[in-house]
Structure 1
Amino acid sequence: MNHSLMIVIAAAVITREDGCLLLVRKHGSDIFIQPGGKLEVGEHPRQALCRELQEELGLNVAEQDLTPLGQGSAPAAHEAGHTVRAEFFGLQLPQALAEGLQVAAELAELRWIDPAQPGDLPIAALSRDFVLPHFGSPR
């Protein structure tokens, strides 16, 4: 794999009490992905994810609240010819907090889906092939 075409990110697998999973969509895209983003130089994945969740969803999360879930990689949804490698962290939100989330920054939309039945929503390969089967708990 050509590492010059590798994008390293931290991504959240956020669920709420009813088992639904959060996916987000960036402005100018129709593909849904996990919340999160690229690491800045010298940044630990947990730090990056806390920063991204604050910027994109207004969600204040402490690093210790994130549960490590492992890594996955797939073709990048938004950068042709690149591969995205994600460090995944789990987070369960109380229903009231989950319902109050609002998109900001580069995000255009958020959706709560049943990971066992995502329907025909256009979902990025990393979320579809790695997150849904491995981390999505059906209701």
Structure 2
Amino acid sequence: MISHVCLGVNEFDRAFAFHSAVMSALGHELKFCERDKPWAGWMAKDKPRPLFVIGRPFNGDAAQAGNGQMVSLLAIDRKTVDAAYDAALANGGICEGAPGLRPQYHADYYGAYFRDPDGNKLCVCCHDPVSE
């Protein structure tokens, strides 16, 4: 259903370092990075879509985070949720909810919430039960 998601950023190098760390923790690969534009995009190792893209707004205005907007990224397991959250906080992210179960969504929903250095809200989550 989703082709790509794009988040506006103001300081590309800072944003690139932040999102590179989170995407690496999730196992995604850099598809492109054009610093002169500036923009960059990541994808899963086994699929060309969807893409996760960051860049300066096309109209040249400052990027602004939206109230009520959030991008949720799927993790393969709970350990990966933890790793992505740790990478986010280690690279300038701000906690919006530590990793944990969120039974109000469903019994196996495990997620973490954070904001990137530009204020964009992200979630990393896993919907699967713990496998023993």
Alignment TM-score, normalising by the size of structure 2: 0.29
Greater RCO, 1 or 2 (C-alpha within 8 Å, sep 6+): 1
Structure with the higher helix share, 1 or 2 = 1
